[in-house]
Every structure is written in C-alpha cells, then in structure tokens.
Amino acid sequence: MDGDLAAAIESTLGAMVQASRRVHGGDVATAYRVDLADGRRVFVKTHAQPPAGFFTTEASSLSWLGEVAVVDVPAVLAVSDETPTFLVLSWIDIDAAWPTTEADFGRSLAELHRAGAPCFGREDRRTTGSRALPNDPASTWSEFYGSRRLLPLARLARDSGSLGDSTIARLETLAGRLDQFVSADEPPARLHGDLWAGNRLVGAGGRSWLIDPAAHGGHREFDLAMMRLFGGFGPACFGAYDDTFPLTDGWPDRVSLHQIAPLVVHAVKFGGGYAASAASAISRYVG
C-alpha cells in the first residue's frame, strides 16, 4: 500500500496502519487486508482511475442491501472518491459452510428480494458494473431490461466486435419484445445485481455475506439466473428460496432470458466461448 493511501486511511479511521497485504479484490480494483494499530482488521479497496462515483456507489449499494437486515453485508467504515480513492469495509474471515448455509441463504435472499425497490433501476441514476450500465428509473421490467441492459449491451458488443451482426440484430429485436413475457408483471425487487458465487462469502457460523454489489431494482429472477449461470449455489438454496417466495409460473423458460445480459457483458470483456453462449441464449427468444 502506498504512502498516500495509508495516510488517507489513517486520517479517516483515526488509527495508524500497522501492516497491509494485497488480497484478491475483483478484476478492476486493488485490494488489501489492513491491520490497524488499534487492533482492527479492515478490507481496503482502491483504484488508480475509477469511473465517477465508483466507490461511493458501491458503499451506497451495500448500505441499501443491508438496511432491511435480512442479509449480511460488510459495514462501510470509510469511503472516498477523491484521490486517493478508497473504500474501507469490515473484514470478513472466511470459514467453512454449515449444513444449513445454503438453505439459510436462499431464505435470506428471498426476503431481500421481497423487500422491494422504489423503481426498476436506481433513484440516484448511478451506473453499476464494470461496463457502467445505465440505471435510470423505469416503471416496468420490460422497459428497464430492454433500454437499460439489452440495447446498451448491443451497442457495446457492436463497438467491440464481440458479437456478430445478426446476433446483435436479434438482441435489439428482443429488447422491443420483452412485454410479451409474464415475468414483466412483477414489481421491482431489491437486487444484488452481480450475484455469482465469488460475491457470496461464507464466514463464521456458516453465515453468508454479500459483497461487490451492482445493486438496483429489477426482476428477482435476474439474481437467480445469474446464480445458475456460473454455479456455486446448492439445490437447498433454490429450494428454500422458492418455499419462502415462490416464483411465478413459467420461470424455467425465462432463466436464459435473464442470463443474456451477463453473457453479453462477459463476451465484451473476455470473448472466448461467451459470445457463442450469448448468441445461443438470444436465439431461444428470437429466431
């Protein structure tokens, strides 16, 4: 950790940095485990050239998820979007899952979703995710997913050459047909927004913690589809979710629909087989 960052942390937290060590912190930020002279251990993230509002958006997202007190999120201890930028969170010690971990998380996630959101998107209109997808408020899921996810992603895929022209054309067509799906009838849920297994940590007592959110109001099937896309969540998790907050009829047919957005993001970022997977998912809904 460089001296300017250490000094900023010390000034904000009122304790000297005793030791720091680089840790895994995602694909865009640099992260550290930091031990303070007052005995606290904290998690610190920084970024050399972050987008505007990068860390304050993450901090507000964590607070928004945590305010309903049904899921565990790390406490935000300090945040700054001024140079040096940083986010300081409470440290979570990783531990083994318990037999009840998956079911407990499924129930907690169901209650988080059921807590709802004031709109599809975000009232503060802040973008989220590594590709800064728009979150301007929308009144319906079909409007939000079409105009704030699929169409912007189609433009990104075209500009980067990540998808073929015919696939992009089908994606744009699909964006205008979303109101045909029954799933559009649900009110906005309170979403994590990037719920792959790496953003769920298991700590002491088998408790699940959510980190690195791209939080917004959206369709609850989106979080669940993301969980299924990359794995890492057991059947007990999905079973407990459905027992707590049953999904609407036909949800299995919509899993691939919700997976299109993360697949296109990954095609843009990483290429490889993600482009073919995205094209396959899109073709399920637009021939």
Q: What percent of the chain has pLDDT over 70?
A: 99
Max CA distance (Å), the chain: 62
34 and 153 belong to one structural domain: no
Note whether 59 and 43 are within 8 A (CB).
no
40 and 132 belong to one structural domain: no
User: Would residue 193 be called left, alpha or beta, if left means φ above 0 and alpha means ψ between -120 and 50 degrees?
Assistant: left
What are the tens digits of pLDDT across the range 83-132? 999 999 999 999 999 999 999 999 999 999 999 999 999 999 999 987 88
In a domain, 255, yes or no: yes
Task: Give the C-alpha separation, 136 to 154, whole Å.
Answer: 18
User: What range does the domain containing 107 cover?
Assistant: 101-283
In a domain, 96, yes or no: no
122 and 44 belong to one structural domain: no
Domain closes at, from 90, 117, 134: 90
82 and 116 belong to one structural domain: no
In a domain, 27, yes or no: yes
What are the tens digits of pLDDT across the range 200-213? 999 999 999 999 99
Total domains in the chain come to 2
Domain closes at, from 39, 58, 90: 90
Report the pLDDT value the prediction gives residue 25, as an integer from 0 to 100. Answer: 62
Burial 220-238 (b: 16+ CB within 10 A, else e): bbbbbbbbebeeebeebbb
Closest CA to 137 of 156, 150, 155, 118: 118
DSSP class of 186: S
In a domain, 95, yes or no: no
258 and 158 belong to one structural domain: yes
**What is the value of pTM for the model shown?**
0.95
**Residue of higher predicted confidence among 183 and 85:** 85
46 and 74 belong to one structural domain: yes
Task: Give the C-alpha separation, 269 to 287, whole Å.
Answer: 25
275 and 217 belong to one structural domain: yes
Tokens encoding 247: 């999904």
61 and 108 belong to one structural domain: no
61 and 195 belong to one structural domain: no
Report the pLDDT value the prediction gives residue 27, as an integer from 0 to 100. Answer: 66
Residue 28 above 90 pLDDT? no
Task: Give the C-alpha separation, 218 to 285, whole Å.
Answer: 20
CA distances from 234 to 5, 101, 140, 173, 238 (A): 39, 10, 31, 34, 7
Domain closes at, from 63, 90, 117: 90
Residue 44's CATH number: 3.30.200.20
3-state class of 247 per DSSP?
A: coil
249 and 220 belong to one structural domain: yes
75 and 165 belong to one structural domain: no
129 and 221 belong to one structural domain: yes
